[in-house]
């Protein structure tokens, strides 16, 4: 399966239409939202602090995620950190390693996009066991925080870039 990551803004007119067809299972939508919410987030300002990426499979959008930094960081992220949001793989293409592909390409993309970034962070629901296992397999660790999150609340994970 030939795949590549492309900035959302670089998509062709056809690909911009196709990205709207990325669909998730209902239980996933409750955790990450849907493609429309992800695309709406790209309207945040300043635009220099947010970037959308699309995973293309055979040149067709099958995945999407957002990266944020500086002024758009969530309260739980600080410093030279970028955060990963709304990682979604179309439900019809899950189970083929596409989420792993996105995450493996992510450190290099972030380093090229924002060279000052030292860490990547994300928030994950504690019941999302498959996502947690994937993140941990790729070197992400739970953020060391003496305060244990309340049951049902997201936990933060971190990946050191340098």
Residue 149 has pLDDT above 80, yes or no: no
Which region, left, alpha or beta, applies to residue 79 given φ > 0 means left and ψ of -120 to 50 means alpha?
A: left
Q: Where are the domains of the chain?
A: 3-160
Q: Is residue 162 predicted with pLDDT exceeding 90?
A: no
Residue 96: per-residue pLDDT: 95
Q: How many CB atoms lie within 10 A of CB 73?
A: 16
Q: pLDDT tens across 119-142, in order?
A: 999 999 888 899 999 999 999 999
- Above 60 in pLDDT, residue 147? no
Domain 3-160, second-level architecture: 3-Layer(aba) Sandwich (3.40)
> pTM for the whole thing?
0.92
Query: Residue 150 has what pLDDT?
Result: 57
Average of per-residue pLDDT values in the chain: 93
């Amino acid at each position: 399966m030939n795949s590549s990551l492309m900035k959302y803004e670089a998509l062709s007119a056809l690909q911009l239409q196709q990205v709207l067809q990325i669909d998730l299972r209902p239980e996933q939508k409750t955790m990450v939202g849907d493609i429309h919410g992800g695309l709406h987030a790209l309207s945040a300002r300043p635009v220099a602090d947010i970037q959308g990426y699309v995973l293309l499979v055979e040149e067709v959008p099958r995945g999407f995620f957002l990266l944020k930094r500086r002024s758009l960081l969530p309260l739980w992220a600080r410093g030279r950190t970028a955060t990963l949001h709304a990682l979604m793989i179309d439900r019809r293409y899950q189970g083929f390693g596409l989420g792993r592909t996105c995450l493996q390409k992510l450190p290099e993309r972030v380093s090229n996009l924002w060279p000052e970034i030292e860490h990547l962070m994300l928030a994950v629901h504690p019941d999302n066991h498959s996502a947690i296992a994937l993140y941990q397999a790729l070197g992400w660790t739970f953020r060391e925080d003496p305060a244990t999150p309340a049951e049902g609340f997201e936990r933060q994970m971190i990946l050191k870039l340098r």
